[in-house]
Amino acid sequence: MSSLVKTESSVRSSVKRQSLKELVLYNDDVNTFDHVIDTLVKVCHHDPLQAEQSAMIVHYKGKCSVKSGSYSDLKPRCTKLLDAGLSAEII
């Protein structure tokens, strides 16, 4: 029984260390759909349809998670989105 508890504890610790973050894109009144779609294709490696769907969700819902992963993977992507004039953050 003790080894089972130890294993569960180490699995929980491992999951916390590897916790995924999300890159969230927010709506604005400045950028065009084409700009948002093109930027998502370049920065997040979305295919055009996925980028278009994300842009529509952002437009109608106000925000959309466009990528998940480790903080170290998402940080440069978030910076590129911000440099392109989009509103984004990692949560």
What's the CATH code of the domain at 44?
Answer: 3.30.1390.10
Q: Is residue 49 part of a domain?
A: yes
Task: Say if 14 falls within a structural domain.
Answer: no
Grade residue 19 by pLDDT with cuts at 50, 70 and 90.
confident
**In this predicted model, which residue has the larger pLDDT, 14 or 28?**
28
Residue 6 in domain: no
Domain extent, residue 56, equals 20-90
Question: Is 9 inside any structural domain?
Answer: no
Residue 53 is predicted with a pLDDT of 98
pLDDT at 45 over 70: yes
Q: In whole angstroms, what is the distance from residue 56 CA to residue 48 CA?
A: 12
Residue 62 falls within a domain, yes or no? yes
Number of domains in the chain: 1
**Quick check: 38 pLDDT over 70?**
yes
| Residue 10 belongs to some domain of the structure | no
Instruction: Say if 83 falls within a structural domain.
Output: yes
Which tokens is 56 given? 């529509």
Q: With H, G, I as helix, E, B as strand and everything else as coil, classify residue 6.
A: helix
Distance between CA atoms of 71 and 51, rounded to whole angstroms? Answer: 21
pLDDT at 10 over 80: no
Radius of gyration of the chain measured on its C-alpha atoms: 17
Query: What is residue 25's DSSP assignment?
Result: E
Give 9's pLDDT tier (boundaries 50, 70, 90).
low
Q: Is residue 4 part of a domain?
A: no
Mean per-residue pLDDT over the chain, rounded: 89
